[in-house]
Amino acid sequence: MPLRTGILTTDAPAPSPHLSQAIIHNGTIYCSGSFGMDPQTRQLAEGPYHQTAGALKNLDAILNKAGTSLHNALKVTIFILNMDHYAEVNKAYLEFFTSDPKPLPLKGAHVEMEAIAAIPERSSKL
């Protein structure tokens, strides 16, 4: 099984000691959760718009360290504490992702689930 490679950059907030900013496995990079936090001061940006823009900037910095960018994202999941902030979050998101296709969630959905799973090497399901 291929090895996993951790990614660490000072251009995004440092993770907790037991976490990685991202892991590369088989040509795909899996990023840990990112906040709209300044990498040097570790202060959260003010408000949903600026926190979203900051989180996108931090994710992009991590991906740049790995040789890619958020513009190559296959999927982006956003967790919003208060849906009243959806318009501000979406505004920052759309300003960042200016070309199509955009990896957007379904507006109006009440439930969304996601999963990432490994396929065992000897899987007979394929």
| Cα(104)–Cα(75) distance, integer angstroms | 8
Q: Indicate whether 3 pLDDT > 90.
A: no
Per-residue HEC secondary structure of 15-84 comes to: CCCCCCCEEEECCEEEECCCCCECCCCCCECCHHHHHHHHHHHHHHHHHHHCCCCHHHCCCCCCCCCCHH
pLDDT at 115: 67
- Please name the helix (run of DSSP H) or strand (run of DSSP E) that holds residue 16, with its range, or none: none
Predicted confidence band of residue 74 (pLDDT cuts 50, 70, 90): confident
Give yes or no for residue 110 having a pLDDT over 70.
no
What's the pLDDT at 112? 61
Give mean pLDDT, residues 47-69: 95
Whether 97 and 103 have beta carbons less than 8 Å apart is answered as: yes
Confidence class for position 105, pLDDT limits 50, 70, 90 = low
Segments making up each domain of the chain, as ranges:
5-96
Residue 18's pLDDT band, with cuts at 50, 70 and 90, is: confident
Q: Per-residue confidence at 124, pLDDT binned at 50, 70, 90?
A: low
Question: Which token pair is 103?
Answer: 């990896």
The overall pTM is greater than 0.75: yes
Q: Are 96 and 34 in contact (CB under 8 A)?
A: no
* CATH code that applies to domain 5-96: 3.30.1330.40
Q: Are 1 and 121 in contact (CB under 8 A)?
A: yes
Which pair of structure tokens corresponds to residue 88? 């501000």
- The tokens describing 93, both together, are 């998101």
Give the separation between CA 109 and CA 112, rounded to whole angstroms.
7
Greater confidence (124 vs 27) lies with 27
